[in-house]
Amino acid sequence: MLIWFDVTTLHRQKKVKTEPSWRIFSLKELHAATNSFNYDNKLGEGRFGSVYWGQLWDGSQIAVKRLKAWSSREEIDFAVEVEILARIRHKNLLSVRGYCAEGQERLIVYDYMPNLSLVSHLHGQHSSESLLDWTRRMNIAVSSAQAIAYLHHFATPRIVHGDVRASNVLLDSEFEARVTDFGYDKLMPDDGANKSTKGNNIGYLSPECIESGKESDMGDVYSFGVLLLELVTGKRPTERVNLTTKRGITEWVLPLVYERKFGEIVDQRLNGKYVEEELKRIVLVGLMCAQRESEKRPTMSEVVEMLMIESKEKMAQLEANPLFNGNNDGEVIDESSEIISEVRDHQ
């Protein structure tokens, strides 16, 4: 086959490549886009500030994160850090479109994701519409794993996400996953206030992170395991079993895995429409990730590989892990509800 290149095309391609994929926005432009950060435009509020829907003059839709309480850190820090984030590109990461730093205002601009977050489909405003069929869930599992693996193993600099959970997996118009909210710990002052509000996400936090308050790539793996289980069961990471105790999702899933009752684990809203082998794979990988002992967890690259296992032998190897045979020492789940109660009591 002959491949023919037009010199002008090559030239144009080269030119496009050198253009930055992000830009600086003026506050005036963002005021106009969001109707002056009108309450009606507000998509929600997170640890770092409020997010507003907006529309630019060219008709494109954006989500603007207005950071709260910008500290006295040097202005250059914000620009430098956002520019580092803006350069990190992967098809399943929500990329930064630009930023604005004027006066006390610090804003980050992203593309608007019309299907909002995974959490809104699993437990929120879209949950009754059952838009997440099995194919979409499987696709979200693999592509969000690829995005986090990219942050851990290939991004420059390497990035620990630090807050992997369903509300940080956004969905584009095709229901493709876009992982967001990475790299914020560098951007925002670590005054302890941000960390404490993480108590709301207690079901996602690894035991070592609860204990030390430190984030790590293995902590991300733990959180991702919980997210996988949440994705296929449709259950929240923790649920209250009685007035004083909460149960972690692994505690509920693992006994059913011992009995190989995968049909009871899967989200009943799927009405039995799922691929059994794929379900098994996600559940087992989820449990491998959410083991108490961090050294027993796989890396994110291994997670991607395991989620895509096709050979029967490899699947059998995975299933033969002592973790799933009911005679292990119970490390995946031991004391998890105790930990949850302890942290809650502490708060």
Ligand X SMILES: Nc1ncnc2c1ncn2[C@@H]1O[C@H](COP(=O)(O)OP(=O)(O)OP(=O)(O)O)[C@@H](O)[C@H]1O
Residues of this chain that interact with ligand X (CB under 6 A) are: 43-48, 51, 63, 65, 94, 110, 112-113, 116-117, 163, 167-168, 170, 180-181
Indicate the residue among 97 and 136 with the shorter CB distance to ligand X.
Answer: 97
Which residue lies nearer to ligand X by CB, 43 or 210?
43
Q: Is 214 annotated as a binding residue?
A: no
Whether 284 and 257 have beta carbons less than 8 Å apart is answered as: yes
From residue 40, give the alpha-carbon distance in Å to each of 7, 37, 54, 60.
50, 8, 11, 18
Rounded to whole angstroms, how far apart are CA atoms 83 and 182? 13
For the CB of residue 184, give the shortest distance to ligand X in the complex, in Å: 7
Which residue of the set 58, 77, 163, 217 is catalytic?
Answer: 163
Rounded CA gap, 264 and 159, in Å? 36
Burial class of residue 36 (count of CB atoms within 10 Å of its CB; 0-12, 13-18, 19+):
exposed
Q: Quote the tokens at residue 32.
A: 């106009």
CB of 95 to ligand X, least distance (A): 10
Smaller CB distance to ligand X: residue 167 or 233?
Answer: 167
Q: Among residues 65 and 246, whose Cβ is nearest to ligand X?
A: 65
Question: Residue 197 Cβ, how far from ligand X at the closest point, in Å?
Answer: 7
Instruction: Find the shortest distance in angstroms from Cβ 123 to ligand X.
Output: 12
Q: How far is residue 270 from each of residues 114, 225, 234, measured CA to CA in Å?
A: 23, 21, 10
Q: Residue with CB nearest ligand X?
A: 46
- Known catalytic residue at 163: yes
Residue 109 C-beta: closest distance to ligand X, Å: 9
Of 23 and 314, nearer to ligand X (C-beta) is: 23
Is 268 buried (19+), middle (13-18) or exposed (0-12) by CB count in 10 A?
A: exposed
Q: Is 84 helix (H, G, I), strand (E, B) or coil?
A: helix
The alpha helices in the chain, defined as continuous H runs, are 7-18, 27-33, 75-87, 118-122, 134-153, 184-187, 193-197, 207-212, 217-233, 249-258, 262-265, 276-289, 300-307, 312-319, 336-346
Binding residue numbers for ATP: 65
Residue list, annotated binding site = 65
Catalytic residues: 163
